[in-house]
Chains A and B, each alone.
Chain A
Amino acid sequence: MLALAPPARVRSLLEAARAATGDGRFLTKHELATLRAATARFVPGPPYDPDPGALQAGVAEAIDLMLGAFRVRPPLIHAGGPFSGRAGGRRDDFAHFVPLDRLATLGWRIRLEGSRGMRSREFAGPVVGLQEIYRKGLAHLDERSRSAYGVDFAAAPPPAQDAILSDQSDSDTQEFVGAALANTLEAMYGAPEYGGNRKLVGWTPNRWLGDRQPAGFSPAQVSSPDPGPRVGPAAAALFSAWLAAREKGRP
């Protein structure tokens, strides 16, 4: 289904998707529920963390929109520019997505759909598309959950979900986690025009002002420290541990 949608259409696309069958643009209703559960473990919200998480940000819905990017025109891949209207500027340019040309379309079709055995798509070797990674990965989470806990992944208790997602010995799960986590971060902390970060819940609790053009920052805001929380020994310990883990975690 190709829909020529108006510029500020992302929100309405999301609403439309929810209203009808409950299916998403690409994912089924059940797959969406599984993805909501997984992304909620990646970026937890209440009651596991005081601030809104992936569920509240609409991360799963935004990922579904990306997986079905080619169902709308132009595809929801590259937001427009230069301004979002959140810090000045007359309109939300971000919502005017940039059309892909012939080659950019091919690249993104390969990325989303995979090379599917077509030599004409295997410039970098065979590519498993994101759609397949999600479809198979979400099904795999259900299998793992059913065999261990007797219920679908979305119905398993969060500690059980964590145990499945963090199993580094399961390469199928980790292939899914690699892709889904990267997309989760984009949808959580990226611009809301991509469909996630609803009500700016990825930005506000982190004191992130987001996009500041065309207002920018004043010389004082650049050259003096910001008020706000200071960090102390606890953060220093976290920092050292993080540096050490990076050192150790390298291939």
Chain B
Amino acid sequence: MSKPSVIVVGSGAGGSVAAWVLARAGHPVLILEKGRNLLPGLGHRGRPGSRFGNDEVKSGRFFENQDPLLEPRAQRSQAEAEQGVAHSFVGDVNDLPTTVGGGTIHWDAKTPRFWRHDFKGLSMFGPVPGANVADWPLAYDELAPYYDRIERRLGVQGDVHRMPASTLAQAPRRHQFPMPPNPPMYAGLLFAEGARKLGYTAYPFPMAVNSRKYDGRPACNSCGFCSGFGCPINARGGAAVSFLHRALLHGAELRPRSFVYRVDVGRRGHRARGVSYLDAHGRRRKARADIVILAGSAIETARLLLMSSSAAHPHGLGNRSRQLGRNLMFHYFTLGVALFRENIHAWRGPSTTHTMDDFVGPVTGPDARAAGLPYFKGGICEVGASVLLLQEAQLYTALPNGWGTQFKAEMRDLALREHLGAIQLVGEDMPQKANRVDLHPRLRDVYGFPIPRITYSPHQFEMTASRYYAQKLIEVCQAAPGSISAGLTAVPLVPGGPGSGLEGPNSTAHIMGTARMGNDARRSVTDRFGRLHELENVYIGDGSVFTSSGGFNPTLTIMALSLRMAEHLAGARGGGVTDGRHRP
């Protein structure tokens, strides 16, 4: 008797983990991915190769990234939505790589865990006016074993003995990391010293980067082309090289350039029969399966479910709660920058090697009350990054008339790539019902389907936290040995409120929350394992299910949730992987 068949939509962090678990358990698995495959040898014996290089031009030319001329997204603010404005921007809105392996193709592989309090925000801190705060239907301790196993499979470096006690109290670990930390970046060491002087603790950033040969892949050699660049040597773990490759070896089938436009449901509307998609030649095709797992990331998954409306599901598939598409969360990045006398070359290394948890919060008391908030939280800090050469040139020339002899002198003599160090706060974003994804009423993408429209405005919670912690970021910059000037800046190329320090949530690539999980089907879209409340066999395996955004890079949590969901599925459906043991 063959096991239930599975369709996985999307080959990124969540989809690849689910495909691996289920293929290994003997389920027939078909993975449909709308992007190309850029990893030669993926799914064949031996190790996958790479077509990525230390090439700043290619990364800016939509090699792995979604091309906004083909698949644009629309955006507007909450105020514009209230005034009936259809959109105020069309283009790249938090686009992720559209390629086999998804966002992890060019992540810098930072893998902090969420904290206990991230799962229980409502019961621990109470409601926040204007926000839609809820507890997750699971707690940290339930997810911890899945974190452990994802870290081993993915290959995560770190050092539990150097983690602050406060971090370990919030995110306890049973094991040391599979690998020791990378050689520390010099800039990270300087900022760590600055942090120490102020009573903070910078420590080795947990990340899925090989510090030694691991899983048949080589050690990182600190080339410096990390965040935003595909790894030329696959020293970075990720969806494709750590999970999908194995899923394919276990017999799963991958169809790249396959755009799923509808989840097909049976007549009574309580079971999916499969999906409809456009194949690599643009032909309409159908695939049938017993189980459908959606993992196209939070914007695309919400869009697909909204496009799958029917008589039985008039507001989108599984949207009786009317929460689908809502509670969209982006992280924001607030940056403190320092100029150093020496050449600290903070562009070398895996983007950053240090992190700091002192600005996670919560903050209560006068600072919160003055902003009308019961409390606020910030997030993790990425400590000690810089820019590459072309990125530096783009920074200077972003100013009007920023070219010419002055520019040339800046490239040679200011040389920010050599003297700049940045410390970046990854700030928690409150869920709001009005921050949402819906279908654009008019605009269609290259596939002929409505483009996703993002309505987004920050909450006072983020504005306050960003301002509050920005001052502390500057203090760390000033305390770092050898820094001669410090200030605030923001994610380049994104407009935002001057002086707020809160800019660029549309480009932080951390996207969560459009189909939140919960025990109450009236207030959430999926159950505690990611199954749509209203469908027997449709699951979500990406960041859509997040109930809060935490102040931590989300990918490890996406993977751990997907692992838990897929093993639940394999167990519940007569699959084999129920013992919870790790077997590569």
Partners in one complex: yes
CB of B390 within 8 A of CB of A190, answer: yes
Say yes or no: is B90 at the interface (Cβ < 8 Å to chain A).
yes
Q: Are B489 and A78 in contact (CB under 8 A)?
A: no
**Contacts of A95-140 to chain B: CB distance below 8 A:** 98, 101-104, 106-107, 110-111, 123-125, 127
Contact, CB under 8 Å: B224 / A79: no
Q: Are B396 and A242 in contact (CB under 8 A)?
A: yes
Selected from B36, B55, B232, the residue in CB contact (under 8 A) with A101 is B36
A231 to B418, CA, bound (A): 10
Contacts A103-B70, A124-B72, A243-B489 given; does A249 touch B51 at CB 8 Å: no
**B396-412 Cβ-contact flags toward A at 8 Å (1 or 0):** 11111101110111111
Residue of chain B at shortest CB distance from A49 = B408
How far, in angstroms, from A92 to B344 measured CA to CA in the complex? 30
Question: Whole-angstrom distance from the CB of B343 to the nearest CB of chain A?
Answer: 4
What separation, in Å, do the CA atoms of A81 and B411 have in the docked complex? Answer: 27
**B233–A82 CB distance below 8 A:** yes
Which of A81, A186, A245 touches B390 (beta carbons < 8 Å)? A186
Chain B residues with CB under 8 Å of A250's CB are 495-496, 498
Residue from B233, B340, B393 in contact with A189 in the complex, judged by beta carbons closer than 8 Å: B393
Within 8 A of B (CB), among A190-218: 190-191, 194, 202-203, 205-208, 210-217
The listed residue (B50, B349, B413) touching A82 by CB distance below 8 A is B50
B446:A106 contact, CB within 8 angstroms = yes
CB pair A240 B485 closer than 8 Å: yes
Whether B57 contacts A226 by the Cβ 8 Å rule is: no
Residues in B with CB closer than 8 Å to A84 are 53-54
Quick check: is B414 within 8 A (CB to CB) of the other chain? yes
User: Taking the complex as formed, is A23 at the interface, i.e. its CB lies under 8 A from any CB of chain B?
Assistant: no
Interface string of B221-235 (1 = CB under 8 A from A): 111110000101100
Contact B389 A245 (CB under 8 A): no
Within 8 A of A (CB), among B109-154: none
A246 to B495 Cα, complex, angstroms:
11
Q: Is the CB of A222 within 8 A of B71?
A: no
Residues from chain B with Cβ under 8 Å of A147 in the complex: none
Contacts A41-B404, A239-B339: A228 and B418 contacting too (C-beta < 8 A)? Answer: yes
Do residues A208 and B419 form an inter-chain contact, with CB atoms below 8 A?
A: no
User: How many residues from A make CB contacts under 8 Å with B?
Assistant: 86
Q: Is A143 an interface residue (CB 8 A)?
A: no
Q: Judge whether A43 and B232 touch: CB under 8 Å.
A: no
Any chain A CB within 8 A of the CB of B443?
Answer: yes
Are the CB atoms of A190 and B53 closer together than 8 Å? no
Report if A104-B401 is in contact (Cβ < 8 Å); known contacts: A82-B233, A185-B390, A231-B415.
Answer: no
Q: Which of B348, B393, B404, B417 is in CB contact (< 8 Å) with A217?
A: B348
Chain B residues near A111: list those with CB within 8 A. Answer: 69
**Bound: A235/B485 CA distance, A:** 9
A181 interface residue per 8 A CB criterion: yes
Tell me whether B172 is interfacial, beta carbon within 8 Å.
Answer: no
Contact present for B403 and A43 (CB under 8 Å): yes
Is A189 a contact partner of B390 (Cβ separation < 8 A)? yes
In-complex Cβ contact of A103 among B257, B349, B389, B399 (8 A): B257
Alpha-carbon distance A75/B61, docked complex (angstroms): 13
Residues of A216-251 contacting chain B, CB below 8 A: 216-217, 219, 221-236, 238-240, 242-243, 245-247, 249-251
Bound complex: CA A79 to CA B407 (Å): 27
Task: For B339, list chain A residues within 8 Å (CB).
Answer: 231, 235-236, 239
| Cross-interface CB contact of A239 among B394, B417, B485, B496, cutoff 8 Å | B485
C-beta contact mask, B98-113 vs A, less than 8 Å → 1, else 0?
0000000000000000
Q: Which of A41, A125, A186, A222 sits near B184, CB closer than 8 Å?
A: A222
Partner of B57, one of A107, A166, A191, A245: A191
Nearest-CB residue, chain B, relative to A243: B487
* Interface contact B404-A168, CB-CB below 8 Å: no
* Any A CB within 8 A of the CB of B520: no
* B50: A residues at CB distance < 8 A: 81-82
Question: How long is the Cα–Cα vector from A247 to B416 in the complex, in angstroms?
Answer: 17
A45 nearest CB neighbor, chain B only: B408
Within 8 A of A (CB), among B452-485: 484-485
A77 at the interface (CB under 8 A from B): yes
Query: Closest A-chain residue to B182, C-beta based?
Result: A222
CB of A152 within 8 A of chain B?
no
Contact in complex: B389, A208 (CB < 8 Å): yes
- Give Cα A228 to B412, complex, Å: 12
CB closest residue in chain B, given A43: B408
Decide if B186 touches A225 in the complex (CB within 8 Å): yes
B232: which of A82, A227, A246 is its contact (CB, 8 Å)? A82
Whether A83 contacts B53 by the Cβ 8 Å rule is yes
Task: Tell me the nearest residue of chain A to B56, going by C-beta.
Answer: A190
Q: Does A68 contact B (CB under 8 A)?
A: no
CB–CB A223/B53 < 8 A: no
CA A53 to CA B407, docked complex, whole Å: 11
Minimum C-beta distance from B296 to chain A (A): 16
Residues of chain B contacted by A81 (CB below 8 angstroms): 50-53, 55, 58, 230, 232
Contact bitstring B44-73, A, C-beta under 8 A = 1, else 0: 000001111111111011110001111110
Tell me which residues from 317 to 367 in chain B have a Cβ below 8 Å from any Cβ of chain A: 337, 339-345, 348-349
- In the complex, residue of chain B having the shortest beta-carbon distance to the beta carbon of A234: B413
A residues with CB within 8 A of B: 41-44, 48-49, 51, 53, 77-84, 93-94, 98, 101-104, 106-107, 110-111, 123-125, 127, 162, 165-166, 168, 181-182, 185-186, 188-191, 194, 202-203, 205-208, 210-217, 219, 221-236, 238-240, 242-243, 245-247, 249-251
Given contacts A101-B36, A222-B222, A230-B343, 11 further A-B pairs with CB under 8 A are A81-B55, A94-B55, A123-B70, A125-B90, A185-B394, A186-B56, A211-B54, A230-B341, A231-B414, A231-B484, A239-B485
Cβ-closest 3 pairs across A and B = A216-B221, A211-B54, A81-B53
